[in-house]
Amino acid sequence: MIQDHLFFAGINILLAWSVYIILLSGSLSFANGAFMAMGAYAAGVLTVKFGLPLIPALALAAAGTGITGAALAAPALRTRGVYLIMVTTGITFCVQVLLENLDYVGGVGGLGGMSGATLWHVYGLVALVGLGLWFLSRSHLQRMLDAIREDEQVASALGMNALYLKIVCFGAGAALAALAGGLFAHYMAFIRPEHFGVLVSVYVVLYAVFGGVNNLWGPMLGAVALTLLPELIRGLASWRPLVFGTVIVVLLLVRPDGLLPWRTLTLRARRP
């Protein structure tokens, strides 16, 4: 059971970071459950129907989903705020319905036969992505993204291609969610469209918000805490969802910027 918890904590860290990358540029995505589904199904089809090894299948699934995510972002990012939330939620619904009606991947019956994902795969990827985000957080690109997030018009006036950077972030977030989905599918051995409903997207955003979105450690902590908390309070039986919900509400009231609210300073900012 501990191995399962560690595995899902790792998957959820990747998903929380997939939202964090998109949030870096000031956008908010409720479509990451859909990107996770796309990665899960694409990687599953590549390993089960085409016999590809797991890692190349994951790479192809992530690349395909990243490109699709970027292509969807181009029109979606014309909207902002609540409209962007509605558009990305719509993407999640569309992908779920599409998968339910696609006989090639099993429709509502689901797709099975995947295997091979281990803790090493997940935590290897967590380490790689974490390292990448750490370097990003200390780079000039982070400052540019901060500028776009704080005031997109000013950033554009300073010569930054805000839309391009937002699309890149959206695509990168989609690719990361796809990697998490691919690993999830190859651990669970069987997936169905209902595994990737809108609630998954909501949870993924919650991981990031709960931990704090100002640094890469916040989403990580949020994902681990919210993955393990329901297991720690399993003994509460039917009261578990109520206690889980109450903990989230209270913590967000007490710490509205998340558990780890500080901003990561870039190298330039650290210079005297």
Partner 1 sequence: MHSRRDFLSAGAALALSGSVTDVMAQSKPPIRIGAIQPMTGFAADYGALYNAALTLAVNDINAGGGINGSKVELKVEDDQFNAQQSVLLFRKHVNDGVVCVLGPISGTSWENTAPIANAMRCPAINSNSLKPGISKRPYALRLHPPDDTMIPEGLAEFRKALPQVRRVVIAGDVQEASGAAGIEEYARAAARLGLEVVDRVSYQTRTTDYSPMAIKVRSANADALLVSSLGPTTLGFVKELETQRFDKPILVNALVWAGNAFINAVGTAGSRLYTLGFATSERNQGNPAHEQFDERYHAFAGETTRLSKPINICNTSLTYDSLMMVADILRQKKIDGNTEVSVAREAIKDGLAQMKDWRGVNAIRMRPSGDGHIQAHLLRAVSERKTWEYALPPAERINTPYLPS
Residues that bind partner 1 in the complex, under the rule CB under 8 A: 1, 3-4, 8, 100, 107-110, 112-113, 115, 188-190, 192, 194-195, 234, 237-238, 240-241
Name the residue nearer to partner 1 (CB basis): 206 or 259.
206
- Quote the least distance from Cβ 38 to partner 1, whole Å: 19
- Quote the least distance from Cβ 231 to partner 1, whole Å: 9
- Quote the least distance from Cβ 11 to partner 1, whole Å: 11
What residue type is assigned to position 200 of the chain? V
Name the residue nearer to partner 1 (CB basis): 93 or 134.
93
Interatomic CA distance for residues 194 and 112, integer angstroms: 14
Strand partners, 190: 112
Name the residue nearer to partner 1 (CB basis): 124 or 241.
241
- Quote the least distance from Cβ 202 to partner 1, whole Å: 15
> For 25-158, where are the alpha helices, taking DSSP H only?
32-48, 54-76, 81-100, 119-137, 140-150, 152-157
- Quote the least distance from Cβ 106 to partner 1, whole Å: 9
Name the residue nearer to partner 1 (CB basis): 234 or 271.
234
Interatomic CA distance for residues 155 and 78, integer angstroms: 16
Query: How many angstroms separate the Cα of 168 from the Cα of each of 58, 71, 161?
Result: 19, 10, 11
Burial 100-117 (b: 16+ CB within 10 A, else e): beeeebbeeebbeebeeb
- Tokens (6 digits) for 169: 């972030």
- Give the SS3 label for residue 27: coil
Interatomic CA distance for residues 237 and 7, integer angstroms: 23
Name the residue nearer to partner 1 (CB basis): 149 or 192.
192
What residue type is assigned to position 33 of the chain? G
- Quote the least distance from Cβ 234 to partner 1, whole Å: 8
Name the residue nearer to partner 1 (CB basis): 170 or 184.
184
Q: Comparing C-alpha atoms, which of 121, 131, 102 is closest to residue 53?
A: 121
